[in-house]
Structure 1
């Protein structure tokens, strides 16, 4: 039995669809079962509730052996540690008591750099990984680069202002990965019952790109000029708090972006395998995902 958390989210729903192509029984934990399609509800066992609830976890983990763990970031949390480690602690206890043997989670790059301990959300993600690893389960932490899909948050800005905004220097090249590739790797691991041990799996996408590079590709795909604009960290923090983020969580994003600008992603050496595992280029992602979204906006 495979348990999948956050099955209606951007990554979780793709993991679920991929896992359902296999032949193993699947159980999902979901706050609102109505968000699952009728077809999905007929093919999985649904456990309603939050995957931070010990009683929900007890029901979901009973008789299960594999788990896909994804923390839904709570922008209103009192601290980054609460959002990641606090949310995950009941699950770690349930893993021990219910015999979960294999866990795959979505985490972040940065463990192998000097910035790991002061990188906001990334620091929280890595501490979450450590908590899961401490249970003794076989574990694969999917250390993902920046999601290409984050660009979708700026669809209307791209369409109406011809701009892409971020805090990073315009010429700083960084890895970026499509969530569909993350989901494919996660599903492959969940369906494979043979692996053991604990490892980090870096997911870098096939290329490193700067903000200027991304804006140029977006311009070509959309056939309209789009420029990259660097913004101050304070502007980002103000946007987050205005949208309802707590002071601690907004500062966590700023810390993550500051660490990223200073070399947070530099601890992994790119190899040909990274392009094999996560093959979607930013241009292809723009053609498949961004272009339709901009047209519909």
Structure 2
């Protein structure tokens, strides 16, 4: 399915019969990015209103609470308020700075110096997009919320740029420093990279607008903290691209020459009991956690493929045991500026507890018809 997110009629048609919508405003390369955000916002508002979509999860950003004065983030703020005005149940995910933004600075990383316009000792939230997908999937599937909600997604820790440089040095084995440069110097770099004047100002505004006297509306809590660390992500995703080294973690594989001692006696007995226990329970029920993880994988995979300008398609069956059948039927990510659609069907046990988050008895016959859901993503 190919749908331009700025074509409201097409988005309305694509989201017909949709129960839950995950919306990500598309990136823009135009002279007036805020106008593009407004056009995309019109599409999602039309879709929600015309199709009476029950709930929306919107990927917003830390800083959207300012409403004005934060560059491109102002476009996300406009989407927040416009969706709020529809009266739909909505969760705004106010996310920190993406780890993946570092992938746009590979040349600087290889050269050993990052250049930024924020103070080097100013902390901010850093987050892995995969963790955002996990939170989004949880909110899409959970019936435990209604109305207007704001959920911050802050990653594991607030980091300064100095700490980021130290972390990248340790994770990649390449000495990486960081320096603060003037706004005009960064503006020149953005122009040299091909950005129009309006787009460059919008990009700069995301830093300059949050540089002084900004305090996020949502403070960091256990609820806003997600697990993936920058060090782990950089080792897995940046190290090879910067140094050409293998990303295999040392010690992760056992040497073929190392002798492996066989367990005996009680240890062997306990192992056999544990194996039998796992085999007996492996196919009992698919909990919300496992389904959420597979949906999050789909969201992350589709979004990543769209960002990379590739097309990805596939299907992932999750479980088929004891009255529980779930499957992601289709994952399709297409080239920007179109949308990616994830479709999945769910058939659950008699109490419908696997999708609704409970822990009902396993092994009951399926008594409910499949629940059909489609989730729309805009890259």
- Normalised by the shorter chain, which TM-score bucket? 0.7 to 0.9
Which residue number in structure 2 is paired with residue 21 of structure 1? none
Q: Does residue 1:58 correspond to 2:6, yes or no?
A: no
Which residue number in structure 1 is paired with residue 230 of structure 2? 282
Q: Could you say which structure has the larger radius of gyration?
A: 2
Distance 1:269 1:94 in 2: 32
Q: What's the RMSD between the two structures over aligned residues?
A: 1.9
Match of 1:153 among 78, 85, 104: 104
Quickly say closer, same or farther: Cα 1:96–1:266, change in 2 above 3 A. closer
Q: For residues 74-89 of structure 1, what are the structure 2 equivalents within 5 Å?
A: 74-78=28-32, 80-89=33-42
Distance 2:29 2:214 in 1: 22
Q: For residues 15-164 of structure 1, what are the structure 2 equivalents within 5 Å?
A: 47-78=1-32, 80-112=33-65, 115-159=66-110, 161-164=111-114
The structure where helix makes up a greater share of residues is 1
Normalising by structure 1, we get a TM-score of: 0.77
- Contact 1:104/1:142 (8 A) holds in 2: yes
Distance 2:234 2:97 in 1: 15
- Contact 2:103/2:238 (8 A) holds in 1: yes
Structure 1 residue matching 2:114: 3-state secondary structure: strand
Displacement of 1:55:
2.8
Q: Deviations over 1:108-131 (max 9, x none)?
A: 11245xx54211112221111111
Structure 1 residue matching 2:174: 3-state secondary structure: coil
Displacement of 1:226:
0.7
Q: Structure 1 segments of 4 or more deviating over 4 A?
A: none
- Contact 2:171/2:232 (8 A) holds in 1: no
Q: Deviations over 1:21-46 (max 9, x none)?
A: xxxxxxxxxxxxxxxxxxxxxxxxxx
Normalising by structure 2, we get a TM-score of: 0.61
Q: Structure 1: which 5+ runs fail to align?
A: 1-46
Which residue number in structure 1 is paired with residue 191 of structure 2? 241
Which residue number in structure 2 is paired with residue 262 of structure 1? 212
- Contact 2:12/2:46 (8 A) holds in 1: no
Displacement of 1:192:
2.6
Distance 2:192 2:215 in 1: 29
Q: Deviations over 1:93-122 (max 9, x none)?
A: 22101111111111111245xx54211112
